[in-house]
Amino acid sequence: MTARPIVAAFSAALALLLITLGATPAAAHTALDTSDPADGSTTDGAVTRVVLTFTRPVTPLGDAVEVEGPDGPVTVEVTARQDGAVLVATPSDALTDGEYRLEWTVAAQDGHPLDGTVAFTVAGAPAEPEGGDGGAASEPATPGPTTSDEAPHPEDAGASAADGSASTAAAVGGVLARLGGAAALWGQLVGLGGLLFAALVLRGTDRRDVPDVLRVVRWTGALVLGGLVLRLAARAVVVAGGELGVALSGTGLADALAGSARTVFALQALGALAVLAGARRSLPGSWLAVVGVLLATAGQVLDGHSNTGTPWWLVVGVDVAHLAAAATWIGGVVMIGVVLRARRVQGRFLDAGRLGARFSTVGAVAVVVVGVAGVLLAVEILDRPAQLWETSWGLVLLAKVAVVGIVAAFGAHQHFRVVPTLEAPGHGARRAHAAAGRLQRGARSETTLLVVVVVLTAWLVAASVHV
């Protein structure tokens, strides 16, 4: 990899970031726009319905809306209007004087679960419906057994413990869902990158290494499937609020596949199965695996924030370029290690100079595309530059960029120093063998750092920008 492409990539990234500083919001992301009654308001008179208006259509998850009043939970019926952009919660009885807290849970168009609360107060409404037998109403209630307010009721303690357990389960589910997403994403990138590596880098006599590369590609299909299973189960737990019984039911799994999530999971699962069954010993014979990585990539594109970006065709095009370039880079680094290890085990001449030089050109282009496309996607996703340091999403994005920079610098050192040594004429076999060993060890180090990048990427895909 030469210095010029790296400088070009970072220069383009810097220029686009400067443009971002003056940019207006690129897209309206899914969020609660208004509520009636409004959050923090006091309503004069009984409330017969609560209206939640979202910036984009949503899909109700579970009960969708739960209301807690001064006397406990309130039964509500939830209906969707305006193609899902408005949810109307109608209580079984009008809400009278007291403080109320409403919790809503929905899925955005990209399948991401969203939740929030609305608190309001009702005043000036009669506590009891007018009419009825006034004499009976005026009679004092028959005294009954009393319970000291100072002693907690056993049922209350059990409910608190259950709530705590559900919250813990939901938190663990969130972590596992992101780890499952990271495993699936890693498998997709390495699978696609491995096929591109076999097609673009392994030429001439190097084509005898194609079966070793395709063997690794085949097992990326199994990794994607395992990641999807973990992600779906954990996602169901999150959507169910930590209630394991609900999460594992048909309703819980259906809620976990709300919105575009059903299409995303279907495409990725079908793609993974095709890769697992279709990766053979030659590229022409692995046509089904090629179809599989394309299906899985399509699912990945639909699984991110770009799915709701505008203009859709442009944002999706940039996302596809970003994924393809990242796969070329990540898959190439992994496959260099695979090929050199296979050659070493088989006692063959490593010939790492030619291998490194070919990947250097491909990798340089990939780095440029990753840098430019990544910045363009950030410009579209972020409403304002301050979200880079004001939100957890922005901070994770900055952390990812930092790690990517380290990987790029590490890779540049490999290709500035190690590859020229391998290509230089007149060096003995011992020196070439030692340089090849450094290239292999460097590939392992880069792979470790790239795993971190993919884990951070999976978190970004699953998280809300406004968190």
End-to-end CA gap in the chain = 38
Residues sharing a CB contact under 8 Å with residue 74, sequence separation 6 or more, in sequence order = 67, 68, 91, 92, 93, 95, 100
Q: Which of 323, 371, 292, 377 is nearest to 189 (CA)?
A: 323
Q: Three-state SS for 249?
A: coil
Is residue 436 very low, low, confident or very high in pLDDT (cuts 50, 70, 90)? Answer: low
Quick one: pLDDT at residue 38? Answer: 92
Q: Report the C-alpha gap between 292 and 272 in whole angstroms.
A: 6
Q: Does residue 411 contact residue 332 with C-beta atoms inside 8 Å?
A: no
Taking 70 as the threshold, does the pLDDT of residue 121 lie above it?
A: yes
Residues sharing a CB contact under 8 Å with residue 440, sequence separation 6 or more, in sequence order = 336, 337, 340, 341, 344, 352
Q: Which CA distances in Å does 33 have to 80, 82, 339, 456?
A: 15, 14, 54, 29
The region of weakest confidence among 135-144, 286-295, 319-328 is 135-144
Q: Report the C-alpha gap between 342 and 354 in whole angstroms.
A: 16
Residue 166, Ramachandran bin (φ over 0: left; ψ between -120 and 50: alpha; else beta) = alpha
Q: Report the C-alpha gap between 281 and 102 in whole angstroms.
A: 58
Cβ burial of 173 (10 Å; 0-12, 13-18, 19+) is buried
Residue type present at position 149 = D
Quick one: pLDDT at residue 144? Answer: 46
Overall average pLDDT of the 417-440 stretch: 61
All structural domains of the chain with their residue ranges: 29-123, 169-461
Q: Report the C-alpha gap between 102 and 106 in whole angstroms.
A: 13
Architecture of domain 169-461: Up-down Bundle (1.20)
What tens digit of pLDDT does each residue of 232-253 get? 998 888 877 778 887 778 888 8
Is pTM beyond 0.75 here? no
Q: Which of 137, 227, 223, 131 is nearest to 178 (CA)?
A: 227
Q: Three-state SS for 103?
A: strand
What tens digit of pLDDT does each residue of 138-156 get? 444 444 444 444 445 554 5
* Cα-based torsion angle of the residue sequence 274, 280, 286, 290 in order, rounded to the nearest 10 degrees: 50
Q: Report the C-alpha gap between 105 and 240 in whole angstroms.
A: 10
Question: Comparing 274 with 32, which gets the higher pLDDT?
Answer: 274
Q: How far, in whole angstroms, is CA 191 from its chain's centroid?
A: 19
What letter does residue 56 receive in the DSSP assignment? S
169-461 shares the fold of 29-123: no
Residue type present at position 410 = F
What letter does residue 384 receive in the DSSP assignment? S
Q: Report the C-alpha gap between 105 and 219 in whole angstroms.
A: 37
The region of weakest confidence among 87-101, 290-304, 371-385, 388-402 is 371-385
Overall average pLDDT of the 47-70 stretch: 88
Q: Which CA distances in Å does 91 have to 111, 172, 260, 277?
A: 28, 33, 30, 53
Going through 261-420 in order, the beta strands assigned E by DSSP cover: none
What tens digit of pLDDT does each residue of 163-218 get? 668 778 878 888 898 899 999 999 999 999 999 999 999 988 889 999 999 999 99
Residues sharing a CB contact under 8 Å with residue 200, sequence separation 6 or more, in sequence order = 328, 358, 362
Q: Report the C-alpha gap between 312 and 320 in whole angstroms.
A: 12
- Residue labelled with tokens 């949503």: 58
What tens digit of pLDDT does each residue of 328-387 get? 989 998 998 899 888 888 887 767 767 777 887 788 788 888 888 888 888 877 777 888
Q: How far, in whole angstroms, is CA 292 from its chain's centroid?
A: 21
- Reading across the β-sheet that carries 76-81, which strands appear in turn? 32-36, 50-54, 86-91, 76-81
Overall average pLDDT of the 410-432 stretch: 63
> How many Cα neighbours within 13 Å face the side chain of 42?
6
Overall average pLDDT of the 107-121 stretch: 81
Backbone angles phi, psi at 463, to 5 degrees: -95, 160
Q: Report the C-alpha gap between 122 and 195 in whole angstroms.
A: 63
Q: What percent of the chain has pLDDT over 70?
A: 76
Instruction: Please give the structure tokens belonging to residue 334.
Output: 């992994």
- What class is the 29-123 domain? mainly beta
Instruction: Please give the structure tokens belonging to residue 406.
Output: 């380290």
Q: Three-state SS for 66?
A: strand
Overall average pLDDT of the 106-122 stretch: 82
